[in-house]
Amino acid sequence: MTATTDAVLAGLDDATCDELAGLYRDLHRHPELSFQEERTAGVAADRLRAAGFEVRTGVGGTGVVGVLRNGDGPAVVLRADMDGLPVAEATGLPYASTATTQDAEGRRVPLMHACGHDVHVTCLAGAAAALAAGRERWRGTLVAVFQPAEEVAGGARAMVDDGLLDLIGRPDVVLGQHVFPRPAGKVLVSPGEVMAAADSLEIRLYGRGGHGSQPEHTVDPVVLAAATVMRLQTVVSREVSPFERAVLTVAQIHAGHKENVIADEASITVNLRSFSPEVRRRLLDGVERVVRAEAAASGAPRPPELRTLNSFPLTVNDPGAAAVVRQAFTARFGAERVTDLAPLMGSEDFGVIGAEAGAPSVFWGLGCADPETYERAVREDRLAEDVPGNHSPAFAPVISPTLRMGAEALVTAALAWLTPGDPA
Amino acid sequence: MTATTDAVLAGLDDATCDELAGLYRDLHRHPELSFQEERTAGVAADRLRAAGFEVRTGVGGTGVVGVLRNGDGPAVVLRADMDGLPVAEATGLPYASTATTQDAEGRRVPLMHACGHDVHVTCLAGAAAALAAGRERWRGTLVAVFQPAEEVAGGARAMVDDGLLDLIGRPDVVLGQHVFPRPAGKVLVSPGEVMAAADSLEIRLYGRGGHGSQPEHTVDPVVLAAATVMRLQTVVSREVSPFERAVLTVAQIHAGHKENVIADEASITVNLRSFSPEVRRRLLDGVERVVRAEAAASGAPRPPELRTLNSFPLTVNDPGAAAVVRQAFTARFGAERVTDLAPLMGSEDFGVIGAEAGAPSVFWGLGCADPETYERAVREDRLAEDVPGNHSPAFAPVISPTLRMGAEALVTAALAWLTPGDPA
Amino acid sequence: MTATTDAVLAGLDDATCDELAGLYRDLHRHPELSFQEERTAGVAADRLRAAGFEVRTGVGGTGVVGVLRNGDGPAVVLRADMDGLPVAEATGLPYASTATTQDAEGRRVPLMHACGHDVHVTCLAGAAAALAAGRERWRGTLVAVFQPAEEVAGGARAMVDDGLLDLIGRPDVVLGQHVFPRPAGKVLVSPGEVMAAADSLEIRLYGRGGHGSQPEHTVDPVVLAAATVMRLQTVVSREVSPFERAVLTVAQIHAGHKENVIADEASITVNLRSFSPEVRRRLLDGVERVVRAEAAASGAPRPPELRTLNSFPLTVNDPGAAAVVRQAFTARFGAERVTDLAPLMGSEDFGVIGAEAGAPSVFWGLGCADPETYERAVREDRLAEDVPGNHSPAFAPVISPTLRMGAEALVTAALAWLTPGDPA
Amino acid sequence: MTATTDAVLAGLDDATCDELAGLYRDLHRHPELSFQEERTAGVAADRLRAAGFEVRTGVGGTGVVGVLRNGDGPAVVLRADMDGLPVAEATGLPYASTATTQDAEGRRVPLMHACGHDVHVTCLAGAAAALAAGRERWRGTLVAVFQPAEEVAGGARAMVDDGLLDLIGRPDVVLGQHVFPRPAGKVLVSPGEVMAAADSLEIRLYGRGGHGSQPEHTVDPVVLAAATVMRLQTVVSREVSPFERAVLTVAQIHAGHKENVIADEASITVNLRSFSPEVRRRLLDGVERVVRAEAAASGAPRPPELRTLNSFPLTVNDPGAAAVVRQAFTARFGAERVTDLAPLMGSEDFGVIGAEAGAPSVFWGLGCADPETYERAVREDRLAEDVPGNHSPAFAPVISPTLRMGAEALVTAALAWLTPGDPA
């Protein structure tokens, strides 16, 4: 298969990669929030059509599905996610985003591709084009899925609910990748657990508002929220075994419109990460127990309300399929560029597609940090400071060799399943 | 003087009061934020012009000054404030506000006359008209000041800075009133301290953002803010003498745009109330010490920034002038409707005008609660629950007799200074 | 009466005061805990017997009552309290206490007269001797009460329950004094509220113990206690009107015997001060609400237990009797040495005796700070640092003129009631 | 070797085990604190002498070393620790401890063998006797070490510093065991990491004392300590990667002798557990940063003092030696009774002896829970509630088969090194 792969990848030449770099900069300048990826989806659909795919748009909102039927043979799904984040970009890059949007409450929020989904879209566009261009070298069916709303754990589910499986049938494998702050030029893949399960809750804490000068007539929701946040720290520090991996993050806290008016309520969001149902349950139970008791400690007029915002399943690589991918990567890139992917506390809804389609799935990591910066940071023990990670306002994948490597990884992994063709 | 007062007040008949009630409902439906009181100022200016005042608008932003020169005699300033609050009205009244606006960050915020400034505007409009209609019964100069932005302690200062004193000279007295949740039909007035000094600070707490699943690479600003709020409670509970009157309220706390993204910073506002420079200093010092130390406890990458939002001076009634007002009220309303005004932790910028003009000033309270509800609440020890106070979403002055009483109080107090006229 | 007073006080000459200073130093070196004042009571009883009083000991534990019947006339009770405190003295005085004792749990605790009860005992011993020596100059009955256990609010009650009223009947007045960190040579007296009501609770917070390395199997009582302490701060900072005077102090917190063993429980004590039944109720309710809710937040296996340690009533001076005392002091000491006694948050069980005996009572303050140090501290705004107050390890009354002034005050006030005698 | 083992273990018959049970109950009734194990050491020395060992006592305080030279051959060290804990026993056993002692500050503290060191002593006494009785069946040198003060990480170090290595030379292996709440009858052994590194700090937090009614003149050390405890929770919850194993326990908090006296200081102890130098450093740095900042937040008059109480090294089993032990156990007990020993957050100073002597060491676990209770608890997910762990007041090893299994395990492991003898 290596020869086939080499031949197909010959199409990803320097000129093509320069063109992909232009696409990437354009996408990076135009991040869109989850389920609002209209522009990104349009770009993806145009690319697929130009490459000869049958294209369906609007799948699960803004999702795009391209199918290239190329004779008998296995079916391979390649998936990329498309959404950006409400983060104010602080990379200082010439192509940095200055985009903003409004959230549901009318707040103007900044936008940034702070999780690298623009890399994912670019690489899949490049891989789809390369595989289409080299279609005489393989047989089978290639499906490109551009998925919305990964960040809210809703996009994969929405596409499935909107008929994705009717379009893709039961593929032989579902493949996806994600950029991580590891050296560009490397791929990371392992069998088993890849990413954590995640649950996010929105919690409304009710007080009783009043004049800022008369706290004795109120139930102060800011104090209630603050006490709750401090108490929630103990769920991880005291209630979960140190041998378990668990995170509880309160990433949002909001109360009050005016400095002299005590508000009626406060809201917080809680983000939980776990790798087992038992730990997940312990975290959820701990949150609920603490939240209800702190409201009682404040003498709250109403109990708090907890609402699930989203739930990500565990992401688990099929061991056999992961071994196939790793072997293909090693053959193409050399062993020194293929490393293990240790489990991450981050979460994904990638696994939903394979689970629903009854197909094995493999999710690998793609290094995107400047290798020299990375190595120096490791030496100086400054990784956290000098190599900003996903969701940081300073997250900045290097364009080369990240884009080429990502596109090549998709092609290489896909061809590990597809039947070699018979080029004239 | 009582005869004069009675004669002038005869003009405030039932029909006039009904008309004022209509004005009040209209104002109540259309609250405006501080320094945005365009509509309210327009209504006030129209009323003053119709009554024969010389009118200047746009004083200190949206302020309105009406002057009625009516022969030789003392000059009296009557002041009303005009601004509403970003509170979501929950009174259920037929004329409840549904208005909203956007704040500086683009957030849609609800609006409500939750502090009764619509009552103040209505009463001053009514009093000005009555005094103008009865101008043959007094001699002197009457000045009506409709002030913007009391809620942010900026309006009185802005009007002074914009030339208010050129318009009003050095009056003999500056008079003002405020509705409070006391029985409608009563006025409250005392010499000396009336309302507390207040200082509001906005505090930005800097962390280091990142992915919600990787707290170890971040400095969590939500935890920093929560710890700060809890620690700030000890400034009042441990550092101020129980014999002093002090309040420290954190009315706003905001951090985070996304449930899985740890933000770079959090902001809180701190509202401080005091009656002495020593206590004010202790509060300010305590806030700064706690805020800086909690940032250090978090290992914050940057020290916090404290910015003064506004500072209200102490409101103090001139003893002699207060005695004059009280005597006039007692003569007009009867002793049973005039009570002491105990000092309040609330704050006002009313005092700025008199202080800058070198004139004594008197600020009195105007009951606005349904008397029966009030009495029952006192009996059942349910004042806090059943008689919502200023800034509460349920704050709902009763129209009658509040409006008439407020207009009469302004007329009565003004006539205590003005020279009786010589009606034909 | 002044002449009588002067004549009786002539007996308090320099030699007598020197002797009293020796008594004071001896008492100061030998502080005893509440209800353990054996040695102090013995000294007091010896002094009373030597002066000719009928003496009863062991009243209410270690209380001493001396009665001097001296013809027809009013009956006056003079009361001094005797107990020291578990404080490690840090005055550096040559007569500093190095005494220790064991508490109920076997802990060795340091002892100190950190509240000046040794001054009170010395002054009453001196006053009783002077009045006895000058008995031909007055008629009536003089009762000296040396009370145990003021610090735990138990001694006055214990003496009453043990028959004190049978010994003293219904006196015409009950008088007492207390040293405060005000300039020595001054007395402080006012009508009405003198000292706050106080309630102390012991609270046991139950967790579930275990190995320090396995918090997930425990309910950590240290975290529970810490969260409770932080939350209790909000009772004063948020729930009590700033116009009320209230204190909530957690003075003791204890949990754990070993650094690697999570304990089964923690205990805290809560000390509450108030001047009205409503505020007292609000404090007590707030404590109970917070304590129960925080236990629930921890998932405690048992609810917490709250036990009342002691309750001090309000101390209120009878207005008429206070006026008599103040007049007598002014006549004797000059107006410049008699000042108002502003209400204090500290508490006393002195009031129990008068209330139970149906007699008016007056409690005054006695300055005990070096006047020069005091004045300089006021000028430099360093009172808290340079003039250590009651219960501080550095509390150090100056011997002269404190002792003489205290003895004279007792004599002067007593003679304001006693009938002048007819000396030969 | 199995035949040799079986032959030696034949001496551990039912009568012998009954006798050991009596020894165990006696030791259990008489726990002693670290470095105070006088009685326990006496019992151990007597047993060793009776079995024919050369005995040295007082090694490193109360340590006991018995040497049995039995011809040429390897030298094996068997180690048991002897100290109890300041825990109030709540097992309800007929042989429960009611012993107490005084700590350094004179507090009466309860005593309990809450960590099962009485089992360790009993088993080693039994194993030493059995090996001595069967000495014709093996050749070599057997060393029995009864070590004091494991709980404070001081005993092994103290014995080494007091010449232990002169007595034991360079042995071929050092062996030890510990009871754990796993089914009695099972042993647990694995290569590599066995137990965590631990560091304990005592932290003194300085405030400024005063009267409980005057917090404004003090710096409240109880609030300071509480805020510190809450903030310390965030070191684990926010600063350590969820993929690392770390514990931070504040097991002790003490402040205040009197409910109405604010103390001058508070003390807490912090117990840290880690498996890597990086995590250990992060914990230590986090503690110091938080503690210093919280003192600053309180305006503390002196910075806090941090003192290291003890430091346990990582306990690591030599892979080769662990394999030998596991093989011997499997041969003797059957594979179903030998399981893996997953790393524990608990800590040991066992490793000090081998590390100092330059010998490999193996430390295994010994089940001590009633098997039926254990299995039911697993089924009902009630392990934490129904199977109390080490350091719990309810920790209660079952006598049978724990004691026999523990003695047999020591004999079996020792004989895996000793040269088989040539019994007549």
Cβ(B186)–Cβ(B408) below 8 Å:
no
Please state, in angstroms and rounded to a whole number, the distance separating the CA atoms of residues A421 and A137.
Answer: 4
* Per-residue tokens: B94: 């037929």
Residue to mutate among D233, D239, D243, with most A CBs inside 10 A, is: D233
Task: Give the residues across from C203 on adjacent strands.
Answer: C268, C306
* Per-residue tokens: A327: 């072997």
Residue B423: predicted pLDDT: 59
CB atoms within 10 A of CB A289: 17
* Residue C273 with chain B: CB contacts under 8 Å: 242
pLDDT confidence band for C2 (50 / 70 / 90): confident
Residues C157 and C132 in one domain: yes
- Average of per-residue pLDDT across B372-383: 93
**Residue C115 labelled as part of a binding site:** yes
Indicate the residue among D283, D311, D339 that finishes a domain: D311
CB atoms within 10 A of CB D280: 20
Give the active site residue among D32, D37, D81, D83: D83
CB atoms within 10 A of CB B226: 32
Residue to mutate among B205, B208, B253, B290, with most A CBs inside 10 A, is: B253
**Cα C239 to Cα A216, C245, C279, C285, distances in angstroms:** 4, 12, 10, 11
What is the value of ipTM here, to two decimals? 0.81
Tell me if B234 and C233 make a contact (CB, 8 A cut-off): yes
Tell me if D237 and A234 make a contact (CB, 8 A cut-off): yes
* Per-residue tokens: B192: 């000396």
Please state, in angstroms and rounded to a whole number, the distance separating the CA atoms of residues C269 and D125.
Answer: 47
- The set of catalytic residues of A is 83, 150
- Domain of residue B135, CATH code: 3.40.630.10
Q: How far is CA D133 from the centre of its chain?
A: 28
Which candidate from C212, C309, C389 shows the least CB-CB separation from D211?
Answer: C389
Q: pTM value? A: 0.85
pLDDT digits (tens, 9 = 90+) for C140-199: 999 999 999 999 888 999 999 999 999 998 999 999 999 999 999 999 999 999 999 999
Residues B369 and B295 in one domain: no
Tell me if D294 and B297 make a contact (CB, 8 A cut-off): yes
Cα torsion D314, D315, D318, D319: sign: negative
pLDDT digits (tens, 9 = 90+) for D18-45: 999 999 999 999 999 999 999 999 999 9
Where helices occur in D318-401 by DSSP H, the ranges are 319-333, 350-357, 371-379, 383-386
Residue B152: predicted pLDDT: 87
Residues C329 and C238 in one domain: no
Is the per-residue pLDDT at C57 higher than 60? yes
Phi, psi of D171 (to 5 degrees): -70, 170
Position C390: which residue type? N
Exposure of C243 by Cβ count < 10 A (0-12 exposed, 13-18 middle, 19+ buried)?
exposed
DSSP B241: -
Reported residue count of chain B is 424
Residues D205 and D190 in one domain: no
* Residue D297 with chain B: CB contacts under 8 Å: 231, 289-290, 293-294, 297
pLDDT digits (tens, 9 = 90+) for B167-176: 998 999 999 9
Which candidate from B233, B273, B345 shows the least CB-CB separation from C237?
Answer: B233
Exposure of B372 by Cβ count < 10 A (0-12 exposed, 13-18 middle, 19+ buried)?
exposed
Give the active site residue among C89, C150, C199, C370: C150
- For residue C343, the SS3 value is coil
Position B228: which residue type? T
How many CB pairs (< 8 A) connect B and C? 39
Tell me if B297 and D223 make a contact (CB, 8 A cut-off): no
Please state, in angstroms and rounded to a whole number, the distance separating the CA atoms of residues A219 and A209.
Answer: 7
Give the active site residue among D32, D118, D150, D220: D150
Please state, in angstroms and rounded to a whole number, the distance separating the CA atoms of residues A312 and A344.
Answer: 13
- Average of per-residue pLDDT across C81-92: 95
Number of independent structural domains in chain B:
2
- Which residues of D lie closer than 8 Å to A, measured between beta carbons? 230, 233-238, 242-243, 245-248, 273, 342-343, 345
Residues C61 and C171 in one domain: yes
Position C7: which residue type? A
Domain span holding position B409: 2-194+314-420
Q: Give B133 to chain C, closest Cα distance, Å.
A: 43
Is the per-residue pLDDT at C3 higher than 90? no
Residues D137 and D236 in one domain: no
- Rounded to the nearest 10°, the torsion over CA A344, A347, A352, A358 is 10
Indicate the residue among A278, A311, A344 that finishes a domain: A311
Give the active site residue among B37, B89, B150, B294: B150
Cβ(B137)–Cβ(B114) below 8 Å:
no
Please state, in angstroms and rounded to a whole number, the distance separating the CA atoms of residues D228 and A397.
Answer: 40
pLDDT confidence band for A153 (50 / 70 / 90): confident
pLDDT confidence band for C424 (50 / 70 / 90): low
Task: Give the residues across from A100 on adjacent strands.
Answer: A110
- Domain of residue B294, CATH code: 3.30.70.360
Residues C94 and C77 in one domain: yes
Strand stretches in C114-159, DSSP E: 138-147
Q: Classify each residue of C34-67 as buried b or exposed e, where b means 16 or more C-beta atoms within 10 Å of its C-beta.
A: bbbbeebbebbbebbeebebebbbebbbbbbbbb
Strand-pair category, D210-211 with D261-262: antiparallel
Q: Collect the ranges in chain D with pLDDT lower than 50.
A: none
Residues C52 and C174 in one domain: yes
Residues A220 and A277 in one domain: yes
What percentage of chain B reaches a pLDDT higher than 90?
Answer: 90
Which candidate from D234, D235, D247 shows the least CB-CB separation from A242?
Answer: D247
Residue B102: predicted pLDDT: 82
Cβ(D120)–Cβ(D146) below 8 Å:
no
pLDDT digits (tens, 9 = 90+) for C275-311: 999 999 999 999 999 999 999 999 999 999 999 998 9
* Per-residue tokens: D146: 């009864």
Please state, in angstroms and rounded to a whole number, the distance separating the CA atoms of residues C343 and C354.
Answer: 19
- Average of per-residue pLDDT across A38-50: 98
CB atoms within 10 A of CB D65: 28
DSSP D337: G
Q: Give B356 to chain C, closest Cα distance, Å.
A: 29
Please state, in angstroms and rounded to a whole number, the distance separating the CA atoms of residues D119 and D406.
Answer: 8
Residues B13 and B140 in one domain: yes
Residue C381: predicted pLDDT: 87
Position D68: which residue type? L
Q: How far is CA B337 from the centre of its chain?
A: 23
DSSP per position, A284-341: HHHHHHHHHHHHHHHT-SS--EEEEEEEEPPEEE-HHHHHHHHHHHHHHH-GGGEE--
Cβ(C377)–Cβ(C385) below 8 Å:
yes
Which candidate from C216, C237, C293 shows the least CB-CB separation from A297?
Answer: C293
Q: Which of C295, C302, C287 is nearest to C201 (CA)?
A: C287
Cβ(D421)–Cβ(D136) below 8 Å:
yes
Residues 6+ apart with CB under 8 A from C378: none
Indicate the residue among D263, D288, D311 that finishes a domain: D311
Please state, in angstroms and rounded to a whole number, the distance separating the CA atoms of residues D323 and D362.
Answer: 9
Is the per-residue pLDDT at B285 higher than 90? yes
Give the active site residue among B83, B193, B294, B349: B83
pLDDT digits (tens, 9 = 90+) for A237-261: 999 999 999 999 999 999 998 898 9
* Per-residue tokens: C212: 């320090």
CB atoms within 10 A of CB C285: 13
- Average of per-residue pLDDT across A43-56: 98
Residue to mutate among D240, D261, D272, D347, with most C CBs inside 10 A, is: D261
Q: How far is CA A342 from the centre of its chain?
A: 16
Q: Give D87 to chain A, closest Cα distance, Å.
A: 21
pLDDT digits (tens, 9 = 90+) for A359-406: 999 999 999 999 999 999 999 988 878 999 998 899 999 999 999 999
Exposure of B389 by Cβ count < 10 A (0-12 exposed, 13-18 middle, 19+ buried)?
buried
Q: Which of A22, A246, A232, A37 is nearest to A146 (CA)?
A: A37
- Average of per-residue pLDDT across A141-153: 95
Cβ(C150)–Cβ(C117) below 8 Å:
yes
Residues A251 and A164 in one domain: no
Is the per-residue pLDDT at C1 higher than 70? no
* D72 given a catalytic annotation: no
pLDDT digits (tens, 9 = 90+) for C172-181: 999 999 999 9
Residue B357: predicted pLDDT: 94
Residues A25 and A124 in one domain: yes
Task: Give the residues across from D266 on adjacent strands.
Answer: D205
pLDDT digits (tens, 9 = 90+) for A296-354: 999 999 999 999 998 898 999 999 999 999 999 999 999 999 999 999 998 999 999 99
